[in-house]
Chains A and B, each alone.
Chain A
C-alpha cells in the first residue's frame, strides 16, 4: 500500500519503480512468460509471438509520434526494410541471427534517417503525406528488386541457430522475441528520463520553444526517426524469423495504420500504452475469429460476416477512443489503478 509518497530527492522522483510492488510484479510476469511455452498451444504461442513483435514496433512508433510529435505513416516500410535486411543477410550472406538482426536494425535506422530528412522542412500533415509517399516508394522497390528480395515469389528465411540449436519452433522463437521485448521497453522507459528524451518531448510540445531553449531540432528530429526505425528494424527482423518466408504484401499501408491504431488506442506518449495497444490490436482479430467459429454452429452464415466485421470494429475502436478517451488504454489503466490504490477512501 502506498499512500502519499514522500520523495525528498529528485532521484526518488525519477525512479522507474517507485515501490517494490511493481518490481515484484514484473518478476512474476517474467516467470510466467518463461513457463508459457511449456504449456501454451502452438496457436496461442503464435499469437503471443505476434504480440511481442507488435510491442517492439509500437514502442518505436510511439517514440516518434507520441513523444516527439513527428507523424509517420511509413512504419510498415521500416518493418519491411528490417525484415528484408535480416532475411538477405542470413539467407544470402550466412550471418547468424544475433548479428543479422542488430545489423538490420542499424540499416533500418539509417533508412529512418533518410525518411526523417523531410521532417526538417515539413510539419504535421505535410510530413504525414511525405511518409505516405515514402511508404509506396519503398514497397515498390521491394517488389521490383527481385534479384535481392525475391519479389512476389517471397524470400525464405533460414531458422536461426543458437549454440547449434535450431530455433525453428514457435516455442523457441518465443524466447528470442521476448528477450528483445523487455530491453526494448526498458530502454524506451529510460530514454525519457534522459536529456535526449526530454528534448524529444520539448519538440513535441512546441518546436519553436524547444529551439529557443537550446534543443537542436536537426539532431533530435533525426535521432527520433532513427531510434524509432531501429525499433522497427528489430521488430521486422523478428517478424522475418517468425513468419519464415517473407512476402511484400505483409507490409501494406494497412499494417502502418494498424501500428498507428495501436498507439492511439494504447495511449500516445506512453510506453505502457504501446504495450496495451499492441496486445489489444493483435488480440482483436483473434477474438473475432473465435467468436465466429463458436457462433458458426448456431448461425452457419455468421462466419463470413463476423470475419469481415474486423474492419468495422477496428475503425469504430479508433473513432471511439479518439472521441471519448484520447489518452487511450494507458489512461484507463491509470484511473483504475488510482481508484483501487485509494479504495475505499477515494476523495
Chain B
C-alpha cells in the first residue's frame, strides 16, 4: 500500500501558501513600481509646488536647440547671459521672479517638436530651421507672433528683409531669425596654383568656372602599355575601364544638400504665387542641362564611384578639405570647418558665378536661417517671449552670431562685432544677403515633398544625362502641382471646419 498521507497533506498545505506568496510578491512588485514612479515624479511636482509657493523661485523655461559643438556653445553663451541678467534684475528689483532658461540639445528636432506639440507637452521655445516655418505654421504647431513681436519691440525694420521674410507665412509671422547664412563659391587655392602659380581671382562666370573645372580635374589613367599616369582634363578618349577619377574641379552634387537650387542660381524660380509650381521654368531647364553636361563629361558611373569614397562632411576627409574637389558651393559656416579640420588650408570665397549672358544674376546667393519659435501650447509664453526679446537685441544676437561665426541678421551691426569677427570673408557673405539676387526656398507647405522630388530629378539627370531635362522637370511640376493643390484643399477644409 502506498504511503498516502504526510507528503500529500504537506503538498495540499503548501499550495495555498505558495499561491499566497506569489500574490504577495506580485502586489509588492506593483507597489514598488508605483512608489518609484511617484518618487521620480515627486521631484517635478515638488519643484512646481515650490515654484508656486516660493515668491522668489525662478520661472524655468525649456528651450530645445538642435546644435552641438561650437554652434551649441554660442547659443549657450546667449542663454547664460540672459540668465545672468535675470538674476541681476531679481537682485535689484524686489519681488521680481527671474526667468531661467534651460537649453536642451535635441536631435531630429523637427520630428520631436511635432510629436511634442501633438502630445500636448511642447517646450517653451525651439530652435528650428526656416524651412519648417510654412509647414508647421500651416498645421498650427507654432504660436502666431504677428501681434506679439511689436509689443516686444521686435520689428521687421530691425532685420535684413530676406531673413524676416523667411519667418512669414500667409501674411503672418511665426518665428524670428537667429543665425543666418548665405552661400558662395569656395576655392582651394593650392589646387588652383598647381595649374597656374599666379592665380588670384575665383571664376566670375559659369563658362570661366567650367574651363577651370576641366583643368582642375585629374584622372589616374592606365595606358595601353600597362603603366599608370596622372592626366588632367576630362580625358574623353580614354575608356572608363582604364581611368579612375582622383580629383574633380567642380561637382554639383557635393555637398548635395541643395539639389533643388541650381535653377535659382540661373535666375529660375520653383514657385510662383500666380502660376503655382514652376519646376520646368526655362531657367531651371538651362541649369539642369548644365548639371547634365557635367555628368556627360565625367561619366555617371565615375561620379558614383568617386563620390562613394568621400568622407563625412564634419571630418578631415571632407571632399573639399582633403582636396578631392577643388571648387564647391558652400555656406558661411564652411570657414569654421576649414579652421577645425584643415587649419593649414588656403582658400578663397567669392560670389557664385553667373551665366555670361546674364550679368543681372551677378552675386546670386541662397539664404537660409535658424529660427526661434514658440510652439502652440507652450507652458510659459510670456517668459519665452522675454527670451526672444533678448535674443533679438543687438547684444544677444551678436553674442550668438559671433560664437557661430556667422553674420548678424539684424540690419545694423556694431563696430565691435565687425572688428572681432573671426571669419575672413564675413563681409562678402553679409553683402550677398543684402543684395538684390537673394533667393530662399518658396514658403509652401509641401516644401519637404518638393525637395525630395527635385533631389530625385537631380539624381535622374546626373545618372542619365541623355534623357530630356525638360521632361524630367515637367514630371516634377505635374507631381508637385497636384500635391500643392491637395494641401491647399486640406488648408481650406481645416479653415472651414474651424469656422
A binds B: no
Which A residues have a C-beta under 8 Å from some C-beta of B?
none
